[in-house]
Amino acid sequence: MTDKNDTKTVALACDHAGLPMKLALLPVLEQLGLNPLDLGTHSGDSVDYPDFAELMAQALADDRASRGILVCGTGIGISIAANRHSHIRAALCHNSTDARLSRQHNDANVIALGARTMGIEVALESLTVFLQTDFEGGRHARRVEKMTPTVRMPDVM
């Protein structure tokens, strides 16, 4: 990770379906010398994934972490919810190629994984690649910039 505001802290959040995978991913952060910020959920009781996407959005907005990991059953719901926030670029990754390109081309700051749709070995590899790959910039920076909302002047009647 080479972000300018790199805090070496990576936030994790999941719903009940994602809990086992989130717990299995935690050691990767330690292996890479990164600090986990575990935003829950912490039990198998049924919860709503948008609530945990919201906690992730807050943690990144407050600079309590520079990257995030989201896990739900498919990774779909929690990534849709997180991407409602303009400072979040959550990439739903199914393999390490997705993870690498989400960093190189899209400057994704959050990886979303599906606990019910991918094996743990592929998830571990994808996360490792995600955390170790830099944004390429250049033409990709222009495209990412086009996804960043600008302040719009109100329409003049």
Query: Which sequence positions are flagged as catalytic?
Result: 72, 105
Find the binder of ligand RB5 among 52, 65, 77, 124 (CB under 6 A). 77
Report in angstroms how near the CB of residue 20 gets to ligand RB5 at its nearest. 12
Nearer to ligand RB5, 126 or 133 (CB): 126
Q: Cβ–Cβ contacts within 10 Å for residue 121, how many?
A: 9
Give the β-pairing of 35-38 and 90-92. Answer: unpaired
Number of residues that bind ligand RB5 (CB under 6 A): 8
Q: Under DSSP, is residue 76 helix (H, G, I), strand (E, B) or coil?
A: helix
**15 contributes a contact to ligand RB5 by CB under 6 A:** yes
73 near ligand RB5 (CB under 6 A) = yes
If one asks whether residue 72 binds ligand RB5 (CB under 6 A), the answer comes out as: yes
**Cα gap 20→156, rounded to integer Å:** 53
| Shortest Å, Cβ 40 to ligand RB5 | 14
How many Å apart are CA 25 and CA 123, to the nearest integer? 8
Q: Is 17 in the site for ligand RB5 (CB under 6 A)?
A: yes
Q: Are 102 and 70 in contact (CB under 8 A)?
A: no
The residues, any chain, with a CB within 8 Å of residue 114's CB and separated by 6 or more, are 71, 72, 73, 74, 75, 76, 92, 94
List binders of ligand RB5 among 91-150 (CB under 6 A).
none
Of residues 32-51, which lie at the interface with ligand RB5 (CB under 6 A)?
Answer: 49
Binding-site ranges for ligand RB5 (CB under 6 A):
15, 17, 49, 72-74, 76-77
